[in-house]
Amino acid sequence: MAIPMDMATMRNSFRTGQYILVDKKPVQASSIFEWGNFMEDNDVKRVGIDYFKDKSIRVSTVFLGIDHNFRSEGPPVLFETMIFGGNLSEYQDRYCTWEEAEEGHSEAIKKIYEDAIEQNDLLLAYEIKNKYPKLIK
């Protein structure tokens, strides 16, 4: 049975907050204007972007700028990796730090490689291994 909540309770049940990056570290924005100005620059938000198979597959990892931790505990979740195209299209994972996001970006590329091997798509596997020889062993 659902328990109805008034708007104030509902609003307070979610953590909200806008963040910017300072030296790749999330810092809560001092105002919505500071946040908005920061978020206009795509280059500072991008952790990684990779294209494979003539750009039909894209791995994108970005700083979201808004806390996606909707629980009342734990650190803010501010970064996201997604895969667009291919068998793993719409794969998604989220992270709290720039470093975790970089690692997650690499993990997504590994997942595409593993899927390419499993599907016997040797051209895609070769492309990934050739571009990232240290990542793919």
Give the model confidence (pLDDT) of 110-129 as tens digits: 999 999 999 999 999 999 99
State mean pLDDT over 21-49: 92
Does the pLDDT value for residue 4 go beyond 80?
no
Does the pLDDT value for residue 16 go beyond 80?
no
Q: In the chain, where are the structural domains located?
A: 7-131
Give the chain's mean pLDDT: 88
Tell me the three state secondary structure of residue 61: strand
How far is the first Cα of the chain from the last one, in angstroms, to the nearest whole number?
52
pLDDT of 1 reads 39
Tokens at 101, concatenated: 């996001």
pLDDT of 70 reads 81
Split at pLDDT 50, 70, 90, the class of 5 is very low
Q: CA of 11: how far to CAs of 5, 29, 104, in Å?
A: 10, 19, 31
Q: CA of 5: how far to CAs of 9, 10, 15, 71, 128, in Å?
A: 6, 6, 16, 16, 50
- Range in 11-20, 70-79, 83-92, 93-102 the model is least confident about: 11-20
Give the model confidence (pLDDT) of 54-63 as tens digits: 999 999 999 9
pLDDT of 42 reads 79
